[in-house]
Chain A
Amino acid sequence: AQTVTQSQPEMSVQEAETVTLSCTYDTSESDYYLFWYKQPPSRQMILVIRQEAYKQQNATENRFSVNFQKAAKSFSLKISDSQLGDAAMYFCAYRRSDNYGQNFVFGPGTRLSVLP
């Protein structure tokens, strides 16, 4: 079974600084998808960024980018120019690609605090 690990239960960053959240996963599949979801205090799960395993290029979305190392099974999220609104729980998620209905496997989450 696939597992997702996030080794940092909590992180903090100064406003406008950069922070990196780590995620590692375990799978025997060669093709899959990885995601970062953000969960603010409202508890709504919001997609931040996704990465297809077959793509070598790291995904970016504005201030958010990933460092995807397939061989190391590592998928870290970098948040640049951190803003107060970035404070939330961040979950790394994995899903296989063999069918459209495949469920997500989530990591335990990293709570990010942004300090003014």
Chain B
Amino acid sequence: EPEVTQTPSHQVTQMGQEVILRCVPISNHLYFYWYRQILGQKVEFLVSFYNNEISEKSEIFDDQFSVERPDGSNFTLKIRSTKLEDSAMYFCASNIPRLNTYEQYFGPGTRLTVT
């Protein structure tokens, strides 16, 4: 069964550095998402992406964040200048418009640690 993949599984970076988290959504999916989960807290929506543009974003997704689908398969989340509070698990998800099935398929996550 096809699945969403994410790399790396764990990224350690220093405060102020740029990081790029990568995701490969399921190949025929059209909608892509990033969520984050700070340790011990709930999963929070960051951004959704469709037709090569952001369709919705949360207040968490400020100017430090950007997303891109550079080559038709990868979907990336960039954090320009990481802060300690960006330490979290980042989940990519995707879905396809199919009647009555609005579930999203999640990747295994990337654990980002900012030191």
Contacts and interface: CB of A to CB of B under 8 A. Distances in A.
Nearest to B110: A43
Give the interface size class of chain B.
20 to 34
A103 B45 contact: yes
Contacts of A46: 106
A101 B42 contact: no
A44 interface: yes
A52 B109 contact: no
B95 interface: yes
B41 interface: yes
A102 B58 CA distance: 12
A20 to B, nearest CB: 20
DSSP class of A's interface residues: helix, strand, loop or mixed? loop
Contacts of A101: 31, 48, 50, 55-56, 95
Most chain B CB inside 10 Å of its own CB: which residue of A43, A46, A107: A43
Interface string B66-102: 0000000000000000000000010101011100111
Contacts of A95: 102
Contacts, number: 62
Interface residues of A, number: 24
A101 to B, nearest CB: 4
Contacts of A42: 108
B102 A109 contact: no
Given A101-B50, A103-B33, A45 B106 contact: yes
A42 B89 CA distance: 11
A106 B106 CA distance: 14
Interface string B35-53: 1000001111100101000
3 tightest Cβ-Cβ pairs between the two chains A and B: A45-B106, A100-B97, A103-B45
Interface of B: 30-31, 33, 35, 41-45, 48, 50, 55-56, 58, 89, 91, 93, 95-97, 100-109, 111
